[in-house]
Amino acid sequence: MAYFDKDNLLQNLPVNGVSLELGCGSRKKHIEAIGIDMLDFDGVNIVGDVFDVLKEFPDQSVNKIYTYHFLEHIEKLPELFQELARVLKDDGLLFIVDPHFSNPYYYSDITHKNFFGLYTMNYFSSGGGFKRTIPNYQQKKNYMIDSVQLVFKSFPPYYLRHGIKKFFEIIFNFNSYTKELYEEFFCYIVPCYEVQYSLRRVY
């Protein structure tokens, strides 16, 4: 067996669907979600490679999937999005938080393999309201973009710096035009910490 289901959850999945948190680590953000991670932390319910674990879920058996700073570590991102589309129910939520490509800390981590910006999810999704168009390379788009948000922040003890960055967050998230303006002209002047995507599964 390539995974360890600590509470035998896979044998007792509710028919009305479940929530998943991929790469949850030691601090799962969604208590109701099934936590999946390669490492056996206390908050992890199923230990194993994400591809091996997802294969055990039936088609359209998941209502919501959350990932926080996880997808940047995945080598086969298109394959993962296909598998997530398989397990998600119609109109199911896929909520993603990942480092923005301008985040200076991104390049310090040698385990990071993917870059994320405003248009990244358009390779897998429709919508978003952006002017720039993304080629789909004849791939089916299984998701609809509900929202894309740029997140600016600093950590204690840099409270003043954090407040200034939150001011920029309000300005640049005003609409799709200001978001695109930010990435084209200002992203390396005021680096963005992370980007949040909210997607819906569409059939």
pLDDT tens for each residue of the chain, 203 residues long: 689 999 999 999 999 999 999 999 999 999 999 999 999 999 899 999 999 999 999 999 999 999 999 999 999 999 999 999 999 999 999 999 999 999 988 888 899 999 999 999 999 999 989 988 888 776 789 999 999 999 999 988 999 999 999 999 999 999 999 999 999 999 999 999 999 999 999 99
Query: What's the per-residue H, E or C state across 62-95?
Result: EEEEEEECCHHHCCCHHHHHHHHHHHEEEEEEEE
Which residue carries 């680590």 as its tokens?
Answer: 25
Residue of 94, 98, 101 whose CA lies nearest to 80: 94
Query: In the prediction, which pLDDT does 132 show?
Result: 87
For 134-162, the DSSP string reads ---TT----EEEEEEEEE----TT-HHHH
Query: In the prediction, which pLDDT does 105 show?
Result: 86
Query: In the prediction, which pLDDT does 1 show?
Result: 61
Are 38 and 45 in contact by the 8 Å Cβ rule? The answer is no
pTM across the whole model: 0.94
Alpha-carbon distance 186 to 21, whole Å? 32
Query: In the prediction, which pLDDT does 138 show?
Result: 65
Radius of gyration of the chain (CA): 18
| Class of the CATH-defined domain 58-150+194-201 | alpha beta
**Percent helix / strand / coil, the chain, rounded to 5:** 25, 25, 45
Take residue 82 and report the two structure tokens written for it. 């296909």
Take residue 73 and report the two structure tokens written for it. 């570590």
Are 154 and 167 in contact by the 8 Å Cβ rule? The answer is no
Domain ranges, ordered by start, for the chain = 58-150+194-201
Query: In the prediction, which pLDDT does 135 show?
Result: 81
